[in-house]
Structure 1
């Protein structure tokens, strides 16, 4: 049986690998292999560190960076996005899983795997039903505020490893209290390792590449060596811990990391656990998608490529499901690793698959060497990585541009710092919706007049324009829906009540993209009341989709006035023959 052509196109749309795979050549292979080597070197210490941040065994970070990369290479649309554990998602995982199981137990690991599965299913369903727009519930300023606060919490949570003490807490206050309580037990050797590693990694980020360039190395080789800085810190401190037997001196080490490929694992389908994690899974999915698609779009734009946000949902969903079945935890597209992948010359998602092969080899051959790796080194790696996420300038920008946005950002930061990441992001979502409702509930409306010598109509308060006696032209600069329908009614009634000479009210609708049922009922009420007052209601410049909706009702049959194609046509017809223009109004 032959598959219809449209169906074949539909299936291919879900497998972007079929598109870029047809043109894959030797040059792309070479570039992808080089990028994979660089990203693999970067991901080994980073994956271990993020797993510890999530409160999970270190090897789960490696597991979450192998098969998910392969899944994304098959289903994702970005040529440079590198999928795996990231700081913010790891922190959210710790907060979510910590609420249902104790850290260090088998139940904690199972809950993390289940969280990855639920996140994957949620993302795939969003992609299949093309619900990528739901990510718009999180405005960019609020996401920036949430990531800034999360970065602070992440950095604070790693200080316990720098000092070599016990501390816990999912918000900044609890963490600081716990750190202060245990500061007396600081291990001097651990502190020295942590401080030196942090200082070295900061220097590597800013100073190593210029130094290597001055030494005569080519820019690309200098950049590769600079990116490998964390590996140097890992190697040096691991060697020191092994040679000096620092574990016996109280320095906390990563310990034995299982050698071998990721194991097959199954999420739990226990109803109580699923119900407890479904909400956090939805939040993690939204945050992960927003972070990932922002990076993917930025990198794609640099090469004049494009991504499909809905297919990205499926790609990320498949990656999370893959993580769940191979001993991993929730993943998304990481900013730092994706930029490194892009800068290293990755041409296609195959670079991610090659990176997965490199990490698989590392789990087979290198994990015995990681047993002596100090946790303070991994903590330093996380601190240096997340401090770049902290951006308090968003407060200054929003204060200068929009006070409601400032309130939303500041509230999100404070809620995240004081109450934890889940409540913080929930506050961000709610505030985003409330700000939208607040802004659109009182839409900007302007009485407009004709600019002399033109057919253009502008606000009488901003321009010297010509108006017609007995006619009010009211431009509505927002779609009309339940939240602002009553506001429109009150505005029109007040306007007509203060102008007894009015005989025609023309609603100019060039910015109206929607009239919902509530707004339609308000328009009907306005028309009836104006008719009783001897005033006719007219509409102008109504968009096609809005007219289509109005024609499906009897509103146009009962409308006291007319619907005009252009506002100028309305004014010419309603003004009648002969000069009747009033003198231009002074601009205010």
Structure 2
């Protein structure tokens, strides 16, 4: 098959892993395998914790870290995104299903899998509708702010484990910090020492031996140190053995009652999952300089949930922690996610008892380093210096990430970005244009750049922006404040006009003509002229008032100026002013 003369393009769309298969070689396989092994170890406590948050047995969190990660890696577009259970998805699953069944019960599990399947179907429908462009509304400032906020969330969530404290909190940053302050006297020095040792080893290995698997080696050193300082396992919390076994085949509940009850929650969770995954993918892609396909990412996320629902996997999305570990561990291709899943599967089958020796403070130390690496200090400085609006978007997104649900933080940032965008587009720049007296050939320059005299009878302006309903009031006020009776609008900067904008131009033309003046246009784009013609507005504006260029427009308008005013005028800024008085230049060569 071929597409656009490129054989195999259709196959690469159906099987996107064919696009990066050529990148795979011995070096990338080693890097991906090392990153995958580190990721598999990191996700063990995380997957168990997230499953408990979702109201499911702990092994379901590990199942959700295996199957969806493979499917999303092979059918998505990001090189580094790893899908699996996340805090946001776990909370939403619990919120959506707990009113319908007892958490942990067989019915609860079935409904959670049904919710997962419906989520995947909704995501695939969005992909089929080619709505991947929706992720373009998540601006760079939103991504940077969201990433920094998520980094703080990860860091704060790991502090109790690092300090050896068992705190009863709601998981929010303010409450966790409050509890930490109240229990500082109970800090476990053994846990703190192992956590800091892990962090230090990871930093030193990465600095002096950057090609070595720093996170994995740091974990091994931490496990050995724990065995030496706490042989009786009394002072340092360990991960412990986990249930062994393959992800079992499962069937969601297909009853109409269950589907109806979960429909609204499934739609919400599908949208939240897409925004979460797309934001994480874009955050990492901004560092790896990869170009993402938003629609393909929708496909990968949808398929991972549809397939996962039949293998005891609850709702998955892009994982900030796992993706961060994957990137900082040196992953090169999506095979790192596949390796992570396979290693996790092997650990489940063969070495579940080995996890009993991994210290929890060491995990916390590694995740603190991951959180630090997620903060893009360089781009934060650039955004803060660039524009107040972008800095505001960044700060609001960052603060919302810490204070409200993760997905609503993204919504807040996107909404604020759109507000600033609409504010900018609702006030298009309007520039007065004047001929440059020093140019050999007729050249018009902005009156803002040069102090030049104006014609008392004709103002020439260029509108740089679209004339839509939001911009009409601003443009209309500007036009009504122009004292010159005749106005020429240069339309080369107008890309779009809606019916409200067109009606405003007609009203301005009528007003000026009633006062003895007129309104003219030059350089209007063809699409805008077709729109005006299709809506019977071209006749009202006057076809003879629309010119292909400003030279012809000025030549035509000059012949209709008041000769008495021209006689006393000292500006004489147009070429016609030096040829003949108005009313006598008809038939002369166009400017």
Q: Tell me the TM-score range normalised by the shorter chain.
A: 0.7 to 0.9
Tell me, yes or no, if the aligned pair for 1:60 and 1:329 is still in contact at 8 Å: no
Are 1:199 and 2:196 counterparts? yes
Question: CA separation in 2, counterparts of 1:483 and 1:159?
Answer: 48
* 2:410 corresponds to 1:425: yes
Q: Name the residue aligned to 1:537.
A: 519
Establish whether residue 232 from structure 1 lines up as the match of residue 220 from structure 2.
Answer: yes
Question: Which shifted more, 485-494 or 394-403?
Answer: 394-403
Given the superposition, is the C-alpha separation of residues 70 and 280 from structure 1 closer, same or farther in structure 2, using an over 3 Å criterion?
A: closer
Q: Deviations over 1:221-256 (max 9, x none)?
A: x51332533542564367569x8242xx36544333
Match of 2:277 in 1: 288
Match of 1:448, SS state, is strand
Q: How many angstroms apart in 1 are the aligned matches of 2:412 and 2:495?
A: 29
In 1, are the aligned partners of 2:436 and 2:443 still within 8 Å (CA)? yes
The answer on whether the counterparts of 2:39 and 2:326 sit within 8 Å (CA) in structure 1 is no
Instruction: Report the equivalent of 1:125.
Output: 125
Q: Which moved more, 1:150-159 or 1:322-331?
A: 322-331
Shift of 1:581: 9.2
Structure 2 counterpart of 1:254, from 231, 239, 245: 239
Q: Is the deviation greater in 265-274 or in 34-43?
A: 265-274
Match of 1:217 in 2: none
Partner of 1:155: 155
Identify the residue that residue 581 of structure 2 maps to in structure 1. none
CA contact (8 A) 1:197 1:233 kept: no
* Candidates 533, 542, 551, aligned match of 1:551: 533
Aligned-residue offset at 1:134:
1.8
Q: In the TM superposition, what is the alpha-carbon distance from 1:366 to its structure 2 partner?
A: 2.1
Whole-Å separation in 1 of the counterparts to 2:476 and 2:66: 59
Which of these two proteins has the greater Rg computed from alpha carbons?
2
What's the counterpart of residue 268 of structure 2?
279
Residues 1:399 and 1:112: Cα distance change in structure 2 (over 3 Å) = farther
Please state how far the C-alpha of 1:36 moved relative to its aligned partner: 3.4
Report the 3-state secondary structure (helix = DSSP H, G, I; strand = E; otherwise coil) of the residue aligned with 2:492. Answer: coil
Displacement of 1:377: 2.8
Please name the residue that 2:146 is paired with.
Answer: 146
Find the partner of 1:447 among 427, 432, 457.
432
- Which secondary structure does the structure 1 equivalent of 2:431 belong to? strand
**How big is each residue's C-alpha offset from its partner over 1:425-481, in whole Å with a ceiling of 9 and x where there is no partner?**
332232122222222222221112233425543321223457544222221121121
* Distance (Å, rounded) in 2 between the aligned partners of 1:55 and 1:533: 74
Instruction: State the partner residue of 2:316.
Output: 330
The CA deviation at 1:404 is 2.7
* Deviation, structure 1 residue 66: 2.9
Identify if the C-alpha distance between structure 1 residues 34 and 167 changes in structure 2 by more than 3 Å, giving closer, same or farther. Answer: same
1:43 deviates by 1.0
Instruction: Answer yes or no: is the 8 Å Cα contact 2:120–2:305 preserved in 1.
Output: yes
Please tell me whether the aligned partners of residues 35 and 336 of structure 2 are also in contact (alpha carbons under 8 angstroms).
Answer: no
Q: Does 1:527 align with 2:509?
A: yes
Paired with 1:264 and 1:353, the residues of 2 have a C-alpha distance of 20
> May I ask how many residue pairs the two structures share in their alignment?
548
Question: Does 2:227 correspond to 1:223?
Answer: no
Q: Are residue 12 (structure 1) and residue 4 (structure 2) matched?
A: no
Gaps of 5+ in 2: 575-591
The structure-2 alpha-carbon separation of the partners of 1:209 and 1:142, relative to structure 1 and needing over 3 Å to count, comes to closer
CA distances 1:28-75 after superposition (whole Å, capped 9, x unpaired): 453453233212212112222432563546655543343334323542
Q: Is 1:378 equivalent to 2:363 in the alignment?
A: yes
- Tell me what 1:479 maps to: 466
Q: 1:391 to 1:12 in 2, by over 3 A?
A: closer
Superposition TM-score, scaled by structure 2 size: 0.79
CA gap 1:393/1:353 in 2 versus in 1, 3 angstroms: closer
Contact 1:16 1:76 in 2 (8 A): no
In the other structure, the counterpart of 2:387 is 402
Separation in structure 1 between the aligned mates of residue 266 and residue 173 of structure 2, nearest angstrom: 23
Contact 1:198 1:384 in 2 (8 A): no
Distance change in 2, residues 1:557/1:148 (3 Å): same
Please state how far the C-alpha of 1:292 moved relative to its aligned partner: 0.9
Distance 1:507 1:571 in 2: 11
Contact 1:45–1:234 (Cα < 8 Å) also in 2: no
1:218 equivalent in structure 2 = none
- Tell me, yes or no, if structure 1 residue 562 matches structure 2 residue 545: yes
Aligned-residue RMSD, C-alpha:
3.9
1:475/1:508 contact within 8 Å kept: yes
Shift of 1:158: 2.2
Q: Which has the higher contact order (CA 8 A, sep 6+)?
A: 1
Q: Check the 8 A contact 2:93/2:112 in 1, yes or no.
A: yes
In the aligned structure 1, how far is the partner of 2:507 from the partner of 2:560? 31
CA contact (8 A) 2:245 2:349 kept: yes
Residue 428 of structure 1 aligns to a residue whose secondary structure is helix
> Is the partner of 1:223 in helix, strand or coil?
coil
What are the ranges of 5 or more consecutive residues in structure 1 without an aligned counterpart?
A: 213-221
2:342 paired residue number = 357
- 1:171 corresponds to which residue? 172
Distance 1:572 1:58 in 2: 81
1:318/1:569 CA distance change after superposition, 3 Å = farther
The alignment's TM-score, normalised by the length of structure 1, stands at: 0.79
- 1:530 and 1:577 map into 2 onto residues whose CA distance is 14
